C-alpha cells in the first residue's frame, strides 16, 4: 500500500496545477491497483474537505460529499474507517452537520461511546450528539 497525503488529493480534485495533476492522475490510474492500493487516512480526508470547502476553492456541501463518494468508489484506494467515512458523508449530504463532526460521532460510536458531548449547536443535530447546556 501507498499512503496519499491530502495535498495529493487536492490536486486530483481541483485540477489547478497541470504538472502535479498529471503526476497524480498517473499514480491513481496506473500505479495504484486493487492489489497495490493507495491508502487514505481519515485525517487526510478531513484535511482535504477543509481545504476544498475553504475560501480558495469554495466547494459546497454536496460537492464535498461527491468528493468523498468518489474516493470510496475507487477500487485502487483503501479508506481508513470506510464505514464511518461513508456514514459521515451521508450526514454531510443531509445538511445535519459538518463532515468532521459527523466523523467524530461515527468514530466515537464505533469505539463504544454512547454519546458525543458538544457545545456546537449544529453538531448537536447529528445522531449520537448531545448539546452541553
Q: Which of 31, 38, 26, 24 is nearest to 79 (CA)?
A: 38
Helix or strand holding residue 47 (H, E):
helix 42-53
Q: Which of 76, 116, 114, 113 is nearest to 100 (CA)?
A: 116
Note the pTM of the prediction, 2 decimals.
0.90
CATH 2.40.50 fits 2-131, yes or no: no
Query: Tens digit of pLDDT for each residue in 99-133?
Result: 999 999 999 999 999 999 999 999 999 989 999 98
Query: Tens digit of pLDDT for each residue in 47-86?
Result: 999 999 999 999 999 999 999 999 999 999 999 999 999 9
Query: Tens digit of pLDDT for each residue in 14-58?
Result: 999 999 999 999 999 999 999 999 999 999 999 999 999 999 999
The ranges assigned to domains in the chain are: 2-131
CB 65 within 8 A of CB 93: yes
Measured distance CA(70)–CA(67) in Å, rounded: 5
- At residue 25, the pLDDT reads 94
pLDDT(3) > 90: yes
DSSP 65-133: HHHHHHHHH-TTEEETTHHHHHHHHHHHHHTSS-HHHHHHHHHHHHTT-S-EEES-TTGGGSTTEEE--
pLDDT bracket for residue 96 (50, 70, 90):
confident
CB 76 within 8 A of CB 33: yes
Q: For residue 45, which phi and psi values (nearest 5 degrees)?
A: -65, -45
CB 52 within 8 A of CB 64: yes
Q: Which of 32, 73, 66, 41 is nearest to 52 (CA)?
A: 66
Amino acid at each position: 500500500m501507498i499512503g496519499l497525503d491530502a495535498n495529493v488529493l487536492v490536486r486530483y480534485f481541483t485540477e489547478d496545477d497541470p504538472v502535479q495533476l498529471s503526476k497524480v492522475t498517473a499514480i491513481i490510474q496506473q500505479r495504484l491497483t486493487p492489489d497495490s492500493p493507495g491508502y487514505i487516512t481519515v485525517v487526510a480526508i478531513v484535511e482535504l474537505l477543509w481545504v476544498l470547502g475553504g475560501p480558495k476553492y469554495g466547494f459546497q456541501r454536496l460537492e464535498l460529499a461527491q468528493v468523498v463518494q468518489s474516493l470510496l468508489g475507487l477500487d485502487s484506494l483503501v479508506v481508513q474507517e470506510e464505514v464511518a467515512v461513508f456514514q459521515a458523508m451521508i450526514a454531510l449530504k443531509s445538511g445535519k452537520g459538518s463532515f468532521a463532526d459527523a466523523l467524530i460521532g461515527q468514530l466515537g460510536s464505533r469505539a463504544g461511546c454512547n454519546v458525543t458531548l458538544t457545545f456546537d449547536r449544529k453538531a448537536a443535530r447529528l445522531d449520537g450528539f448531545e448539546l452541553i447546556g
